[in-house]
Structures are given as C-alpha cells and as structure tokens.
Structure 1
Amino acid sequence: MAQPDIGLLTGQQRSNWIRLRTMILLRWVAIVGQLVALTVAERMYGLQLELGLCYLAVGVSVIGNLIAIFVFPENKRLTESENLLMVLFDLLQLGFLLFLTGGLNNPFALLMLGPVTISAAVLTTRSTVLVGAAAIVIVTVLSDYHLPLRTQNGFVLRIPDLFVFGNWIALVIAICFIGLYSRRVTSEIHSMSDALSATQLALSREQKLTDLGGVVAAAAHELGTPLATIKLTSAELIDELADHPELRDDAALIREQADRCRDILRDMGRAGKDDLHLRQAPLMTVVQEAAEPHAHRGKLVEYTHDPDAGDEMDQPAILRQPEIIHGLRNLIQNAVDFARTAVWIEAHWTAERVTLRIIDDGRGFPPQLLGRIGDPFVRRRKAGSDQHERPEYEGMGLGLFIAKTLLERSGAELTFANGSDPYAVSTPADKHIGAIVQVSWPRNKVDARTGDYAIRTGHNAQIQT
C-alpha cells in the first residue's frame, strides 16, 4: 500500500524525548527513599550497617544530580546512549546498596525491577536487553555475595537458603517478564500512535485537495462570464478587422488565449467540491473517482452492480466525503497492486445498507494474517515469488489501516476474505478469486438525499471577496 510521506519514529528517536530534568527528579525521589530507609533501619531497628559506604553510594547519586543540574541546561534531552548510561548507573548504585545491606535477604531487592521497566518503556530493544542482562547478573551475584545484616546484639538476619533461591528465581522471572511485557505494550502504543498520525495526515491532505478544488470550481464559475464576454468581443473584432491583418491576428490571439483560460479552469475545476450539487454524487461516480488514479495501470478495473440492487438509475447519491474517497482509493490501489489481470468493484444497495465489494484475481491475503488485517505495521517475510514479482514492495499494513480507519470514521464496516485458497495449484479462470474487501454502510450514514446526513437543498452561497 502507498503510505503517507511521513517520518515514522524509531525507538532511538523516541528515547531522545526524555528530559534530563525528568531523570534528575526521579533520582531525587530514589535518593530520599534510600536515606529514609537507611535512617529507619539504623535508628529504629538498630541494624548494624556500613553507614559510611552506604552514604558514599547515596552521595555519588547526589553529586551526579548536582553536576547534571548545574552543567546542563534545563531543556536538555538525553540521547539514547545517555539514557542508557543513566539507567545503568542507577542499577549499579542500587546493586551496591543491596550488597551492603544483605543482598537478596533485603526486601528492597524488588526495586531492581524499576530500571528494567524504565528501559523497556523508553529505550531501544538492544538497550533494554543490555539493562535486563545487567540486572540478572547483579541479582545472581547478590544471591551469594553480600554483607550480612546484623542487629545491635550481633545476630545475623537472614532468610533460609531456599527462600533466597526463590527470591532469585522470582526476580529473574520478573525482570524477563516485566521487561518483555512493558516493551510489547509500549511498542503497540507507539505503532498505533504512528499509524493514527499517518491517518490524520492522509485525511488532512485529502481535505486540502477537496477545499482547493472547491475554490477552483468557484473561480471557474465566476470567471466564466467575463471570459465569454472577451471571447464574444474578440470574435466581433476579428470580423471588423478583416482589412487590418496585424490587428486581426491580435484579436484572434486574444480569443485563443480566452479559450485556453476556459480549458485550464475547466480542467482545474473538475475536482470542485464546495458547490452544493457537487458535494454529493451517484455511488458509482464516487467509486470511479476514487479508482481513477489506478484505472490505467495495466489492469482491467470493471465496475458492476448486483442485479438485486435494481435499476442503475436508482442508485443512491452518497456524500463525497474525503474519508470515503481516500479510503476506497487505498483499497483499490491495494487490489490493483496485487491483481494479476483484473479488479472487480461490485455495488449493492438496499433501503437499509449500501455495500461495495473490491475483488482482485491475485493470490489473496495471507491466511495467517487475515485476522490481523487492519492493524498497523504488520510485517511478513516475503517469499521468493513475491520478491521476483514486486521487488520494491515493502508492505507494513499501514495503507490498509488508514483505509479501514477512514472508512470506519464514515460509519462503514469492513471485512476481509479470500475468494479461494491462495495455496491452490489452479483455480477456474472465470471466477473472481484473490482478495475480497467488503465495505458496508448503513444507508442513512452516507445517503446524501435522505438519512441523518442529507445535504440541504437550496442556492449556492456567493463567494465573498
């Protein structure tokens, strides 16, 4: 599918969005929590801690924060590498504190999940894997090597080895699971955000073209009378200047240029949509307009309507909404791209619904992706035949997502299916095979003459200049 010309963001670009001040604030919260925990453990519970080394670890974080505050500007945004170093520093600092305070016997070992979760949410996959691996290594070391927790009386506080092993297993599993879970959810959110931005851009582009066409149509209408006057006057001058060849040629040139202006305005005004009568059109006219850019690409595009739909003259007039035109155009382009020789567009209408089916004679949708069609950034590895037939094609499902989103915005329901088994060795040549996309609207949503969105009748408003 053709995709809007936008720069889709990568994980590394998104990691550059994080402000240094945000990381500094989070670190201050961690520093305060660490100081409170050390003070309570030493004064209220009388634990014998290596306070000098503990305060040294906390002091390093304080010094790092102060340097970041005074050296870098407030609007500083961290790069991918800088974010990774910040997270690794916090992970190592926390690991050192846990080493000084009992290792996995310390319930605060659970905080090792914090840096992993942050890295999975904001950093690239490679950085997330690195942080997760570092966390697993630190937890594994702490399970065997750490300074014991001692009470005032010298008793060592420790839990049974079985529980230490259980804590280690739980932390390793939690690091892997929470990292993967956070990464997956964040990736889904980012993909949907990118796809919705592309959809909005496509709709905005179509709306601008529609508005521009309306202005051109209005200009062509308003200029029609003066151009006709110029043409009439120049014709009279041509007759009267028969004895003056040079002046007669000038009058003929004026008439020729007036005709040229008329033709230019007529061509430019074909897309005019602001005229009340042009904001609606018969169903098949709108379909043909949507298919026009792809109707001459070497594939037969055939328009038919269901015999049950009645006389073609009774077809409904529907709204010429940018969502409908652009959405159908994307679906038709997809069909033309993958068709072998022909694409069929079938229309059917009743008193309740208006339905279109776009069918091609290509290989159809991949069966394993039928349930995911309409999701953005759905990739699949191309087979050798696909690379041979269309080596330039790099589909991500974004075009179908845009089409589905825009058409659903107009009230449509879309279904995707295959006309035959795409893995079948041979299929009858006279049958419609390949991919089938059905678009169905409640008639009152798109009917321009009746229903909820019927266009008012009356005189066109005069353009104010």
Structure 2
Amino acid sequence: MSQSGIGYIDQNARSNWMRLRTLVTVRWFAIAGQILALIVGKQLFGLQLALGPCAAVIGLSVIANLLAVIIFPDNRRLSEAETVSTLVFDTLQLSMLLAFTGGLNNPFALLILAPVTIAATVLPARSTLLLASCAVAMISTVGLTYIPLRTANNSLLEMPVVFVFGFWVAIVTGIIFISIYTRRVTSEMTSMSEALLATQMALAREQKLTDLGGVVAATAHELGTPLATIKLVSAELMEELKETKDLYGDAQLIREQAERCGEILRSMGRAGKDDLHLRVTPWSALVREAAEPHLDRGKNVVFTFDGNLEFDLDQPLAYRKPEVIHGLRNLIQNAVDFAQTQVRVNISWSDTEFFVKIFDDGPGFAPQVINRIGDPFVHRRKRSKKNGARPGYDGMGLGLFIAKTLLERSGAALEFSNGSAGDPLRGAVVRGVWPRQKLEAVDLPTGKNRPIEIS
C-alpha cells in the first residue's frame, strides 16, 4: 500500500491479463502462414519438402486450437502457467517445422522470436527467462539436427557454415535482447500507467475531502436556524413548566441536546456553505493548510518568509486548487518522514511568481538518483541510522511522482537538490515556482453563496 493509501496491481498478476482468444487467433494466423509457405515452396519454387511430417506438425496446432475453442469460453483469461505452456507449445511446434524444412537455412527461423516477445510483454521475469531458455535450446537443436532443403533437381540448398553460425548467433542475441529490452519497457510502461492512475485517484480523493468539508460545514450552517428555534421554544417551555418537575426535566433535556447538536456541527465544519470567497486564500495560508496534517508528527515544522511578511496586506490570494494542496502536502510529508528534528517551509512571492521551498535536516537525496526524482517507484533516498526505516511507508518514489505530476499540472516548476554546507538544514531541498497568473485569484468570485447539494 502506498503512502497515499492506494493499492497496486501485483506485477505477476499481469500474466492473467492474456486472453486465450488472443493466442488462439494469433495461432490461426501462424497456421495459415505456415500452410501458405509450404504451398509456395512446393509449387512455386519446386522444393522437395517432407510434406507428411510438416502436415502432422501443423495438424497439432490445428487440434490444439480446436480443443481450446471447444473446451474453454472465449473470454477465458490464462494463468501464468497456462500462458507459459501455450507459448512453449508454439515454440516447440515452430522448431519442429523448421527441423523438417532446412533448419537454420530456412529464413523463417527468425519467427522463433515471436513467442519470446509475447512472454516478455505479459509474463513475469522468471517465466520470460524460462521461455527464452527453451527457445535458445530448441533453435540450437534445430541448427544441428534437421532435414536439408533440396530443389526439384535434387540440389542442396544450404548456406556456408559461417553464415549458419552467424544466423544462430543473431537469433540467440535477438532472443536475449528482446527479452531484456521488451521486459524493461513493458515494466516501465506498467509502472507509469499505475502511477498515473494513482495520481488521478489521489486528486479525486482530495476533491472529495474538500467537498465533504463543505458539506459538513453547510449542514452546520443550515441547521443553525432550526436548532436556535428549538432552543428558544424549549426555554419558553421550561419557564411554563417550572411547577411540573417531570415535564420541566424533559424540556431542559431538549434544550441541552439542541445545544449539543450545535456544538457537534460547529466542530465538524470549518468552511461554512459553498462560500464563494472561501475558494481563494492567501498564498501563505494555502501552504499552511497543505502542511497541517503533518504539524503534529513529532518534527518541528517552521514557516519562514523570505523577503515577505506573513501578514502583508498586499499578500496575493491564490485559488484553493486540490491538486496544489495535495501536491504540497506530499512534499511536506516526505520532508517530515526523513527529517531528524526539523523541517523549514519558506514561503514567498514576487510580482510575477509564487515560491515555496521545503528544507529538512535529514540525510538528503542519494546522488545516484537525484536526477530521477519524480519517476514512479524510486526508493533509494538515503536514510539516517538514527531514524532507521521510513516510518510507516514503503518508499518515496510514488508520493513524489504524484506530487510532481499534480504540481506541474498546476503550472509549477520543481527543483530537487540537497542543502549546502552553510545551511543548518543540510538535508533535501525541494523548490517550487509558479507563475502568478496560474494560481493568483485576480477576479474574486461574485454572486450568491449556494448550499452544497448532495445527489
């Protein structure tokens, strides 16, 4: 589970994404191509082919496809073991067909790469390695044991040994390269896809929390009048029922419970109804709001103002965008996680830009990954011996990816570095800069406040 509370798909579960129908369809195309190649070789070029064994091998694929279609439903998802078995069967079938049609002298030997490519795309590393090893073993066997190709006049069709050996080396190299390269690219694409999904979910969650706070506050506001009426009527009843002890106690209880309801509602909401003016806030207040959940986690979080005053009357107003709040919250959370005792958040602004700079006194970013900060699933930030493992989290890569994605979407430019020798906080430093036109609330919202409606 990530620091944002979002679960992720196990990489090994991706093998269950392969549909049986997909492999069956691909195999039908392969069967058609193999039959066509035999017909062309026999009729057009007059090659002497072992048609009986070749037909038997192709027949195995036809039988396998028919059984798969009859026994299993079209939408059947194959497990890892089933996918491996299917691809090993296809590799063996192609190897046998090559052995009956010239071995490595057959240019179609290159097709042995197809099952390996599929495996590297959808299967875990161990299964890809198994299939690649099988492919290398089979193509090596075919290179040594095969029925040679002959023309109509019984002439032998064979390449020089050095070319055959070079072809074998090229195929084996291709198997290894495609296995590694395709697997790496597929893993990165899957990680990026999952991380982008996590970003969208985090933003949606932040928006829902913001809306929920407004709903609660709107409830407190709207119920204020009826609760006040209940309190007033109950007070009048208490005056009239002084002589009746039981009824007086009931009226007093009604008043006390109405007051308690009011206190509960006031404590649950902070923002009133959907107040148009609460859609904007001073820049420093926005950063403080983002940091609020991490102010009581045992680290000293200090706010400073470089060249600006917190209560400057000319302080710009910013829109309370959920992506900005959530992104800054993740950056501050990361600093608090790795800090030893202190985090400093520097807030400033100019005529053209908003600035925020987050320092901590932790060990800082590892030099070998500092240029990759913000990529999903980077887990190599150094940890101090004093703090040990990061408290309560698996790693820092996904949180920073979410923060970087959300903040850059809002117009921010982020820089990640380590503190200088002259700074008492020599840990990690994250600097964010926004053009004022991206966040500044120039035209304040106007119109009537609207209650939040729940559908």
Post-superposition CA distance 1:220-243 (Å, at most 9, x none): 211112222223333444455444
Greater shift in the superposed pair: 136-145 or 36-45: 136-145
Q: 1:274 to 1:389 in 2, by over 3 A?
A: same
Matched position secondary structure for 2:365: coil
Q: 1:464 to 1:66 in 2, by over 3 A?
A: closer
Distance 1:392 1:460 in 2: 41
**Contact preservation (8 Å) 1:344, 1:358:** yes
Post-superposition CA distance 1:153-195 (Å, at most 9, x none): 1111001111111101111111111111111110011000111
**Contact preservation (8 Å) 1:210, 1:271:** no
Task: Note the C-alpha offset of 1:77.
Answer: 1.0
Q: Name the counterpart of 2:203.
A: 203
Q: TM-score, normalised by structure 2?
A: 0.94
Specify the code of the residue in structure 2 equivalent to 1:183: R
Post-superposition CA distance 1:416-442 (Å, at most 9, x none): 11104xxxxxx77x7232111112111
Greater shift in the superposed pair: 246-255 or 361-370: 246-255
Q: 1:108 to 1:126 in 2, by over 3 A?
A: same
Q: Name the counterpart of 2:436.
A: 443
Task: Note the C-alpha offset of 1:260.
Answer: 1.4
Distance 1:57 1:77 in 2: 26
Distance 1:106 1:326 in 2: 60
Matched position secondary structure for 2:185: helix
Q: Name the counterpart of 1:59.
A: 59
Q: Does 1:266 align with 2:266?
A: yes
Q: Name the counterpart of 1:286.
A: 286
Q: Name the counterpart of 2:425.
A: 432
Task: Note the C-alpha offset of 1:342.
Answer: 1.0
**Contact preservation (8 Å) 1:11, 1:124:** yes
Task: Note the C-alpha offset of 1:78.
Answer: 0.7
**Contact preservation (8 Å) 1:12, 1:123:** yes
Specify the code of the residue in structure 2 equivalent to 1:54: C
Q: Does 1:456 align with 2:445?
A: yes
Post-superposition CA distance 1:307-334 (Å, at most 9, x none): 2568633222211111111111111111
Specify the code of the residue in structure 1 equivalent to 2:148: P
Matched position secondary structure for 2:184: helix
Taking only aligned residues, the RMSD between alpha carbons, in angstroms, comes to: 2.2
Q: 1:386 to 1:74 in 2, by over 3 A?
A: farther
Matched position secondary structure for 2:269: helix
Q: Name the counterpart of 1:129.
A: 129
Distance 2:273 2:23 in 1: 51
Q: TM-score, normalised by structure 1?
A: 0.92
Matched position secondary structure for 1:388: coil
- State, as a whole percentage, how many aligned pairs show the same letter: 57
Distance 2:310 2:329 in 1: 26
**Contact preservation (8 Å) 2:221, 2:272:** no
**Structure 1 stretches lacking a partner, 5+ long:** 421-426
Q: 1:48 to 1:83 in 2, by over 3 A?
A: same
Distance 2:148 2:329 in 1: 70
Q: 1:209 to 1:273 in 2, by over 3 A?
A: farther
Greater shift in the superposed pair: 276-285 or 265-274: 265-274
Distance 1:399 1:76 in 2: 36
Q: Name the counterpart of 2:347.
A: 347
Distance 1:463 1:9 in 2: 36
Distance 2:225 2:430 in 1: 46
**Structure 2 stretches lacking a partner, 5+ long:** none
Specify the code of the residue in structure 2 equivalent to 1:64: A
**Contact preservation (8 Å) 2:365, 2:381:** no
Q: Name the counterpart of 2:170.
A: 170
Distance 1:132 1:187 in 2: 18
Greater shift in the superposed pair: 309-318 or 43-52: 309-318
**Contact preservation (8 Å) 2:220, 2:272:** no
